[in-house]
Structure formats: structure tokens, C-alpha cells
């Protein structure tokens, strides 16, 4: 209650009159659409290509770009050979048990572990020395490694990870991103055979599909170009 009778009414009327001239908040929906919020980055979703396989190349660019580091990813690499994961093991659901084991000091069995070819790492050590063990020069290191071995052996990648201190996942992501880097010797048929051996279901399916479509079966792997 104000002292002057009618003052409240006058102030209310003044308020509505002011509102009358103010810009309106309505968005005419079908014609106009509100811009998404400034930091909206879309929906996180794994997409499948037309053959029903995951399009994700596990390059970890999304995880590196994520400003709040909400992306943990892990699983078999694109060749189905060994585990790659991004993120601390503690936060990573599939690896929680493993993490507990590791803290208990026991040896951790990795169900995805597959013994890989032993290669002579002397050449790699020379390359690393030359590049000063600098993780920031990862691409040059990887290119030099591929020049030395003809491809990027898993043992070499692990060694790079140990020596430079970069996460294995980071190295793996860099290597998968550049199409001129490869993980197998440039031998498509051997690689395809290996693929068939490791993932027989998919190989059979693809062969059957190629026959059914009466065309050439698609190249097994995008990277097998040589």
C-alpha cells in the first residue's frame, strides 16, 4: 500500500505500457528457429556406414577436442587386434576391474592381448634420439618409423609411448588419422587373410555380400592401398 491512493495502479499501468513497446520474445517456430546455444556441439553418436560397421576410426580427435573431457573410449582397434583406450582407467567402465587389479599389484590379464611380432627396436631408438623424444613431434617420429620399418609395428608404437611419455591412445589416434601411415606391411592379401582369421564372421559375410551383389567385393580396409 502506497501512501498515495492509486499510485500502485498508475505504476502498474506504466509497466504494461512499457512492455507494450518492448521487443517481443516469441519465436514464430516453424518459420524462425532459435539458434542453438553457443557451446552446443551436437549429439554424441556413433554412426554406422552402409555396410553396418562403425564409422569410427578411433582417431580420438573428438576426445582431444572435448573441452570438458567427457569422452572416454576404448575397445578393439579398427583391425581387431588389440585394446586401445582413451582416458584414465579409473573412469573407464570396462577397465574398472582391471584398474583395481593393477592397484592390487597383481599382473593384469588383458583378454584382448595378442602377442605381436617382435621387431628390432634399435632403429626406432635412433629415430627417437634424433627427435629428442619429443611427443610434440609425433607425426615426424611416426613417419620416420614407417620409413624405417615399412609400417608401424605395434611394438614400435608401444616403445614410442614409453619413451616419449605420450599416451598410447594419442599415438594410435595420430597414426589412424593420417592415411599414409599404416599398421601392417603393405600387403593387402596377407592383411585380408589376417582379417579373415581374426574376424571370420565378417569376412564370410563380406564375401557373401559381394557375391550377392555380383560386384567386386569392396576393398577390405581403407588403408590397404599399396
Cell 567402465 -> residue: 93
Note whether 106 binds another protein by CB under 8 A: no
Q: DSSP for 134-192, please give it.
A: -GGGHHHHHHHHHHHHSS--HHHHHHHHHHH---HHHHHHHHHHSTT--SS-S-HHHHH
Whose Cβ is closer to another protein: residue 8's or residue 219's?
A: 8
CA distances 157 to 61, 93, 154, 183, Å, are 18, 25, 5, 10
Q: Which residues contact 174 (CB under 8 A, 6 or more apart)?
A: 59, 138, 139, 142, 181
Whose Cβ is closer to another protein: residue 29's or residue 40's?
A: 29
- Smallest distance from the beta carbon of 37 to another protein, in angstroms? 21
Whose Cβ is closer to another protein: residue 16's or residue 189's?
A: 16
Q: How many residues bind another protein (CB under 8 A)?
A: 13
- Smallest distance from the beta carbon of 7 to another protein, in angstroms? 14
CA distances 64 to 18, 191, 198, Å, are 49, 30, 30
According to CB under 8 A, which residues from 15 to 74 bind another protein?
A: 15-17, 19-20, 22, 24-26, 28
Pick from 7, 9, 88, 147: which binds another protein (CB under 8 A)?
Answer: 9
The Cβ of residue 207 has, within 10 Å, a number of other Cβ atoms equal to: 12
Pick from 2, 12, 88, 140: which binds another protein (CB under 8 A)?
Answer: 12
Whose Cβ is closer to another protein: residue 12's or residue 200's?
A: 12
Whose Cβ is closer to another protein: residue 15's or residue 213's?
A: 15
- Smallest distance from the beta carbon of 20 to another protein, in angstroms? 5
Q: Which of 150, 152, 125, 149 is nearest to 139 (CA)?
A: 152
Whose Cβ is closer to another protein: residue 19's or residue 33's?
A: 19
* Region near another protein per CB under 8 A, out of 14-22, 140-148, 171-179, 206-214: 14-22
Alpha helices (runs of H) in the chain, residue ranges in sequence order: 7-21, 61-65, 96-104, 122-130, 138-149, 154-164, 168-177, 188-198, 200-212
Binding site for another protein (CB under 8 A): 9, 12-13, 15-17, 19-20, 22, 24-26, 28
Amino acid at each position: 500500500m502506497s501512501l498515495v491512493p492509486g499510485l500502485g495502479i498508475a505504476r502498474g499501468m506504466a509497466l504494461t505500457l512499457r512492455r507494450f513497446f518492448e521487443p517481443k520474445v516469441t519465436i514464430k517456430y516453424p518459420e524462425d528457429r532459435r539458434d542453438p546455444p553457443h557451446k552446443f556441439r551436437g549429439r554424441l553418436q556413433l554412426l554406422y556406414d552402409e555396410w553396418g560397421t562403425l564409422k569410427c576410426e578411433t582417431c580420438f580427435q573428438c576426445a582431444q577436442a572435448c573441452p570438458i573431457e567427457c569422452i572416454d573410449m576404448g575397445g578393439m582397434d579398427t583391425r581387431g587386434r588389440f585394446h586401445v583406450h582413451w582416458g584414465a582407467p579409473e573412469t573407464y567402465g570396462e577397465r574398472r576391474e582391471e584398474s583395481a587389479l593393477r592397484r592390487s599389484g597383481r599382473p593384469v590379464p588383458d583378454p584382448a592381448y595378442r602377442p605381436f611380432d617382435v621387431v628390432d627396436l634399435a632403429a626406432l631408438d635412433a629415430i627417437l634420439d634424433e627427435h629428442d623424444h619429443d611427443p610434440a613431434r609425433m607425426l615426424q617420429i611416426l613417419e620416420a618409423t614407417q620409413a624405417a620399418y615399412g609400417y608401424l609395428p605395434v611394438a614400435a608404437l608401444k616403445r614410442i609411448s614409453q619413451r616419449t611419455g605420450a599416451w598410447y591412445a594419442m599415438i594410435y589416434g595420430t597414426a589412424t588419422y593420417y592415411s599414409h601411415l599404416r599398421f601392417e606391411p603393405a600387403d593387402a592379401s596377407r592383411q585380408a587373410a589376417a582379417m579373415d582369421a581374426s574376424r571370420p564372421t565378417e569376412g564370410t559375410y563380406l564375401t557373401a555380400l559381394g557375391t550377392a551383389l555380383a560386384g567386386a567385393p569392396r576393398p577390405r580396409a581403407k588403408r590397404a592401398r599399396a
